Structure 1
Amino acid sequence: MMITKTPSVLLIYTGGTIGMIQNPETGALENFNFNHLLKHVPELKKFNYHISTYQFEPPIDSSDMEPQAWAKLVKIISYNYDLYDGFVILHGTDTMAFTASALSFMLENLSKPVILTGSQLPIGMLRTDGKENLITAIEIAAAKIDGKAAVPEVCIFFENHLMRGNRTSKINAENFNAFRSFNYPPLAKAGIHIKYEPSRILKPDEGLPLKPHYLFDTNVVILNLFPGIQESIVSAVLNAPGLKAVVLKTFGSGNAPQKEWFIQALKDATSRGIIIVNVTQCTSGAVQMERYGTGLQLLQAGVISGYDSTLECAITKLMFLLGHGFSNKEIRFRMTKSLAGEITKEE
């Protein structure tokens, strides 16, 4: 008789709306504990899973999420990696896409699911979206296909869609469909059944062990272009003390103003070793600097393409590569390569 192992999932609560419970006496929102969770989501008892929990003390509002907290998450996952089939991280929605992107690079050779989820309404409220998000995220974290993890990636699950974490952005502060992956299709959709898309899911090298990373360098900045942007502002940003890299948010397919002072400022910055990565302000599509003269000038100034990378991915990837002390040349090379399925590049 074949003995099947009971699936095990580690639930990590960092903070955020999903973990807030309304005190019926005071009306105040309070952070959850596991007893609260079982009370408000009794369906968890129906899982034939071993579910353990870890709670950040104190919980972190997602607006306060920092690389140190990312490193803490990696440490928790790495320490417990052999004990669980998958991991679910409860996280505030505002910076969830940044955390998911960062973890996709920090958890090298990942072969188990790490699913981030949250909610727009606290889990104790009647119309909460948190219950379905949590239940389905746990089911995905424990799921196996042919004896292997169904989705061995860092993902975000929200409102019936499982999305690659480093492809996802928050797009709605009001509705339940808070996240979208514009440039890469969902890895799974949850309806009556959870329908996985194996061809879209990364295939890990089973022979390689998990390699956790903890180093980040936050000497980076985002420069968002707009009509009428002033030379003094651009100069102040590009000459900020300690600056090492810039994510340049450009128009359309990677275009920028054809102002001599602007192009010269970019040339001066890249000549000083500052890495400038071009990503589009559009929610969908990719940078193609060769397409128009307004983009080609950036290429000639030493700006590198971010292709179809999200802003969240581009900035965390830069922090990650800078933190590991790679040379300028190596970082520029790695920014144009897919390390964890984060960009689509036509060869």
Structure 2
Amino acid sequence: MKADYPSVLLIYTGGTIGMIENPETGALENFNFAHLLKHVPELKRFNYHISSYQFDPPIDSSDMEPSLWAKIVAIINDNYENFDGFVILHGTDTMAYTASALSFMLENLAKPVILTGSQLPIGTLRTDGKENLITSIEIAAAKRPDGTALVPEVCIFFENELMRGNRTTKINAENFNAFRSFNYPALAKAGIHIRYNEHIIRRPDPARPMKPHYLFDTNVVVLTLFPGIQESIIDSVLHVPGLKAVVLKTFGSGNAPQKDWFIRQLKDATERGIVIVNITQCQSGGVEMGRYETGLHLLEAGVISGYDSTPECAVTKLMFLLGHGLSQAEIRRRMNSDLAGEITKE
């Protein structure tokens, strides 16, 4: 590829953006990538080299799983030297999980990996897919004056906002603003111009290469607390065969019942080697386990803070760390470390 001729690889995994409506049933069906190019003729106006890789068959995002994340990483790794950036077209339902996972799997990433999609198929008149796709490609190709990538991160671009991938959550099934980054500002906003917040964009270590990772262990569960939750439920969840980690969704800033049986169940699980990470059920904010007595009891039981991590990020980070066969102590240490801009530690 010529250095002055930006190159972007589009990876179509599936999702609404590439679907077409069956005129007889009205159902949405997966269509091929040529359909996408047909409905976005503007792509030909980019002075870029745009190549595509298509999952065959396309994957509904509800079926996305770690083996497919590994496939995406392999595609990026195999093509890493040939392209300036990557745009992944993905269904919205699990996009935040994939973005979070990729942020850990692509260690020391030096090129943009932008996930996007749409709420309406690309062929419909009012689709949001066209703008999302065009702007994502422009961001994936954007460079600083020194020739390095402007946004060398795994991001989600949706409805005019570029967000750090491991900070995002899907918040809307109906409107175009499907994603939100509650605890970290947008890396860029697209209006008449694309305005980048360069001071908050992560930079790789130029002395080190990008290192791909492929290993995951899915022996993780999300346990959401609610008033009146029974000990039998907690006990059965914490004794699931093979369980290695729990994302515990607590109240407010990290609070939970103070019942003796509850604390004892958590302490016993921790002593059996299960890693328990505390995150808040609130969409915005994080846990402060030293703030109230209930949080202190969790700390004493061996529960660790997830800070302001999203549920999607906490789950994928645990699966990623467990997959690499680390000790419980090392997993706990790394869960409390900011690996890819995913948590804010005060």
Give the TM-score normalised by structure 1.
0.97
Compared with structure 1, are the counterparts of its residues 25 and 226 closer, same or farther at alpha carbon in structure 2 (3 Å cutoff)?
Answer: closer
Partner of 1:224: 224
Kindly report which structure 2 residues correspond to 1:136-147, keeping only aligned pairs within 5 A, or say none. 136-146=135-145, 147=147
Residue type of the partner of 1:115? I
Aligned length: 344
SS in 2 for 1:149: coil
Instruction: After superposition, give the CA deviation of every residue in 1:155-187 in whole Å (9 maximum; x if it has no partner).
Output: 000000000000000001110000000000000
Is 1:8–2:2 an aligned residue pair? no
Kindly report which structure 2 residues correspond to 1:204-223, keeping only aligned pairs within 5 A, or say none. 204-223=204-223
Contact conserved, 2:110 with 2:210, CA < 8 A, in 1?
Answer: yes
Kindly report which structure 2 residues correspond to 1:314-329, keeping only aligned pairs within 5 A, or say none. 314-329=314-329
Partner of 1:310: 310
Is 1:202–2:205 an aligned residue pair? no
Is 1:39–2:38 an aligned residue pair? yes
Residue type of the partner of 2:261? W
Aligned residues: CA RMSD: 1.1
Partner of 1:97: 96
Shift of 1:31: 2.3
Shift of 1:26: 6.4
Kindly report which structure 2 residues correspond to 1:31-70, keeping only aligned pairs within 5 A, or say none. 31-70=30-69
Contact conserved, 2:18 with 2:33, CA < 8 A, in 1?
Answer: no
Residue type of the partner of 2:47? N
Q: Matched residues in 1 for 2:172 and 2:28: separation?
A: 22
Q: Matched residues in 1 for 2:97 and 2:220: separation?
A: 14
Contact conserved, 2:156 with 2:163, CA < 8 A, in 1?
Answer: yes
Residue type of the partner of 2:220? V
Shift of 1:210: 1.1
Instruction: After superposition, give the CA deviation of every residue in 1:276-308 in whole Å (9 maximum; x if it has no partner).
Output: 000000000010010000111001100000000
Partner of 2:17: 18
Partner of 2:244: 244
Q: Matched residues in 1 for 2:123 and 2:195: separation?
A: 28
Partner of 1:73: 72
Q: Matched residues in 2 for 1:18 and 1:74: separation?
A: 21
Instruction: After superposition, give the CA deviation of every residue in 1:280-339 in whole Å (9 maximum; x if it has no partner).
Output: 000000100100001110011000000000000000000000000011100000000000
Give the TM-score normalised by structure 2.
0.98
Instruction: After superposition, give the CA deviation of every residue in 1:253-277 in whole Å (9 maximum; x if it has no partner).
Output: 0000111100000000001110000
Partner of 1:284: 284
Q: Matched residues in 1 for 2:258 and 2:67: separation?
A: 40
Q: Matched residues in 2 for 1:237 and 1:30: separation?
A: 37
Contact conserved, 2:86 with 2:112, CA < 8 A, in 1?
Answer: yes
What is the aligned-residue identity percentage?
A: 80
SS in 1 for 2:137: helix
SS in 1 for 2:81: coil
Q: Matched residues in 1 for 2:25 and 2:51: separation?
A: 30
Partner of 1:157: 157
Contact conserved, 2:105 with 2:213, CA < 8 A, in 1?
Answer: yes
Shift of 1:22: 2.6
Shift of 1:29: 3.0
Q: Matched residues in 2 for 1:233 and 1:38: separation?
A: 50
Instruction: After superposition, give the CA deviation of every residue in 1:138-157 in whole Å (9 maximum; x if it has no partner).
Output: 00000111111010000000
Specify every segment of 5 or more residues in structure 1 that has no aligned partner in the other structure, as ranges. Answer: none
Residue type of the partner of 1:137? S
Q: Matched residues in 2 for 1:25 and 1:145: separation?
A: 49
Q: Matched residues in 2 for 1:25 and 1:177: separation?
A: 30
Instruction: After superposition, give the CA deviation of every residue in 1:72-97 in whole Å (9 maximum; x if it has no partner).
Output: 00000000000000000000000000
SS in 2 for 1:287: coil
Specify every segment of 5 or more residues in structure 2 that has no aligned partner in the other structure, as ranges. Answer: none
Shift of 1:37: 1.7
Q: Matched residues in 2 for 1:283 and 1:88: separation?
A: 27
SS in 1 for 2:86: strand
Shift of 1:35: 2.3
Q: Matched residues in 1 for 2:344 and 2:28: separation?
A: 42
Shift of 1:24: 5.0
Shift of 1:38: 2.0
Partner of 1:296: 296
Q: Matched residues in 1 for 2:115 and 2:255: separation?
A: 34
Residue type of the partner of 1:44? L
Compared with structure 1, are the counterparts of its residues 285 and 26 closer, same or farther at alpha carbon in structure 2 (3 Å cutoff)?
Answer: closer
Compared with structure 1, are the counterparts of its residues 219 and 25 closer, same or farther at alpha carbon in structure 2 (3 Å cutoff)?
Answer: closer
SS in 2 for 1:216: coil
Is 1:180–2:180 an aligned residue pair? yes
Partner of 2:85: 86
Contact conserved, 2:12 with 2:33, CA < 8 A, in 1?
Answer: no
Residue type of the partner of 1:34? F
Residue type of the partner of 1:247? V
